[in-house]
Amino acid sequence: MIASDETQGKRSRDKELATISAVGLALSIAWHAAVLLGATISANAGTGLLLLGVALSVASGLRAVPLRPAVRSSRGYVAFEGAPKWMRWLVLLAAGYFVLNFRLATGRFVGTVTPNDALGARIASAAGMLIFPYPLAVFYAAFRRAAQS
């Protein structure tokens, strides 16, 4: 009974963190769209959203630690086992979009953009879209794996 309660607790926590990741992704998409349309968004709101994304990314990495031996042999895909294919693709598409957005905004693929730079908000808002898909997929996959066991 204790193991079942512990499993239920992890499952519930994974579901909550997947939901928070989904909301963060939706907010970052809205932030990026607003920036592209010329709106000015508070730097504090953007920073808070990015910090949430970083915290969720770290937490999802920690959540995948028990899978470490399997992750090595599967090139990392086991962390997504149980997530729908569109979530797996979203991680790759978000990374691709971030690179494309950076290139379109700056005219180069690498470089430094400071917060005072006019393009800073555009790059930062795309970074938000880059951060959230990974924890969304990892936490949702963990939730689904726990539900199946």
Per-10-residue mean pLDDT, the chain, length 149: 61 88 92 86 84 90 67 63 90 89 75 65 83 91 83
Give domain status of residue 15, yes or no.
Answer: yes
- Model pTM score: 0.78
Instruction: Say if 111 falls within a structural domain.
Output: yes
In a domain, 5, yes or no: no
The pLDDT score that the predictor gives to residue 1 is 42
- Token digits of residue 20: 């928070």
The reply to whether 122 falls in a domain is yes
CA 135 – CA 126 distance, rounded (Å): 16
Does residue 66 lie within any of the structural domains? Answer: yes
Q: What is the DSSP letter of 40?
A: -
Domain containing 118: what range?
11-148
* Buried/exposed code over 50-66 (b: 16+ C-beta within 10 A; e: otherwise): bebbeebbebbeebbee
Length of the chain in residues, anyone? 149
- Tell me if 1 is assigned to some domain: no
pLDDT attached to residue 40: 81
Let me know if residue 3 belongs to a domain: no
How many C-beta neighbours within 10 Å does residue 99 have? Answer: 13
Residue with tokens 């907010």: 27
pLDDT score, position 89: 92
Q: How many domains does the chain have?
A: 1
**CA 112 from chain center: how many Å?**
22
